Chain A
Amino acid sequence: MCFAFRAHTHLFDRIANQWQMVPLVIYFPIGLCLLIVRVFIGLHAFLVASLLPKSSVVRCFIIRTMCAVLGFIVREEHMHFKRKVGVKLLVANHITDFDHLAVDLVLPCIVPIISDSPKFLNWSLGLHDFGTKNGGDTFTQNVKHYLSSCEVPILMHPENATTNGRSGLLKFNSLPFTLDSIVHPLCISVSRPSPLEVSPTVLGSRWWSDLFWILLTPFTVFTLKYLESIHQKEGESVDEFAKRVQIEMASAMNVAATNYTEADKLEYMKRIAHSASDNSSSQHQQKQTIISSASAQRNISNPLLESTSQIERMAIRVKEVLPQVPIEVVKKDLAITANIDETITRLLDGTISYKAETVVNSRPEAQTQKDSQSSNQSNISKSELGLNTSAKTFGKSAFERMRSYKERKEALIEASRARYLRKHPEILMKMAKR
Chain B
Amino acid sequence: MSSALRRLMAEYKQLTLNPPEGLIAGPVDEENFFEWEALITGPEETCFEGGVFPARLTFPPDYPLSPPKMQFTCEMFHPNVYPDGRVCISILHAPGDDPMGYESSAERWSPVQSVEKVLLSVISMLAEPNEESGANVDAAKMWREDRKQFYAIADRLVRKSLNLPLN
Q: Judge whether B18 and A374 touch: CB under 8 Å.
A: no
Q: Judge whether B95 and A261 touch: CB under 8 Å.
A: yes
Q: Which residues of A contact B123 (CB under 8 A)?
A: 364, 366-367, 370
CB proximity to A under 8 Å, residues B1-46: 1, 3-4, 6-7, 9-10, 12-14, 16-24, 26, 29-30, 39, 41, 43-45
Q: Judge whether B22 and A404 touch: CB under 8 Å.
A: no
> In the assembled complex, how far is the CB of residue A246 from the closest CB belonging to chain B, in whole angstroms?
12
CB proximity to B under 8 Å, residues A333-383: 341, 344-345, 347-348, 356, 359-360, 363-367, 369-371, 373-374, 382
A388 and B110 CA atoms in complex are apart in Å by 28
A404 and B23 CA atoms in complex are apart in Å by 14
Q: Judge whether A412 and B105 touch: CB under 8 Å.
A: no
Dominant SS at the A interface?
A: helix
Please judge, given known A-B contacts A4-B65, A412-B24, whether A402 and B43 are in contact too, CB under 8 Å.
no
A398 within 8 A of B: yes
A382 and B117 CA atoms in complex are apart in Å by 22
Q: What per-residue 1/0 map shows which CB atoms of A375-399 lie under 8 Å from chain B? A: 0000000100001111101100010
Residue of A nearest to B24 (CB): A389
Residue of B nearest to A371 (CB): B21
Q: What per-residue 1/0 map shows which CB atoms of B71-105 lie under 8 Å from chain A? A: 00000000000000000000000011000000011
A261 and B20 CA atoms in complex are apart in Å by 31
A42 within 8 A of B: no
User: Which of A12-20, A85-93, A207-215, A320-328 forms part of the interface with chain B?
Assistant: A320-328
User: Which of B130-138, B140-148, B156-164 forms part of the interface with chain A?
Assistant: B156-164
A278 within 8 A of B: no
A401 within 8 A of B: yes
Please judge, given known A-B contacts A4-B110, A417-B162, A420-B158, whether A391 and B16 are in contact too, CB under 8 Å.
yes
Q: Which residues of A contact B1 (CB under 8 A)?
A: 345
Q: Judge whether A369 and B164 touch: CB under 8 Å.
A: no
A260 within 8 A of B: yes
Q: Which residues of B contact A320 (CB under 8 A)?
A: 64, 111-112
A262 within 8 A of B: yes
> In the assembled complex, how far is the CB of residue A148 from the closest CB belonging to chain B, in whole angstroms?
28
Select A364's contact among B7, B13, B22, B120, beta carbons within 8 Å: B120
Q: Which residues of A contact B56 (CB under 8 A)?
A: none
Please judge, given known A-B contacts A348-B6, A405-B16, A416-B41, whether A271 and B112 are in contact too, CB under 8 Å.
yes
Q: Judge whether B117 and A417 touch: CB under 8 Å.
A: no
Q: Judge whether B50 and A323 touch: CB under 8 Å.
A: no
A347 and B1 CA atoms in complex are apart in Å by 14
> In the assembled complex, how far is the CB of residue B25 from the closest CB belonging to chain A, in whole angstroms?
9
Q: Judge whether B6 and A321 touch: CB under 8 Å.
A: yes
Select B17's contact among A266, A341, A390, beta carbons within 8 Å: A390
Q: Which residues of A contact B149 (CB under 8 A)?
A: none
Q: Judge whether A2 and B95 touch: CB under 8 Å.
A: no
A264 within 8 A of B: yes
Q: Judge whether B10 and A321 touch: CB under 8 Å.
A: yes
A5 within 8 A of B: yes
Q: Judge whether A267 and B164 touch: CB under 8 Å.
A: no
User: Which of A191-199, A221-229, A306-314, A423-431 forms part of the interface with chain B?
Assistant: A423-431
A26 within 8 A of B: no
The 7 A-B residue pairs whose C-beta atoms are closest, nearest first, are: A366-B124, A364-B124, A259-B96, A398-B30, A263-B105, A420-B50, A366-B127
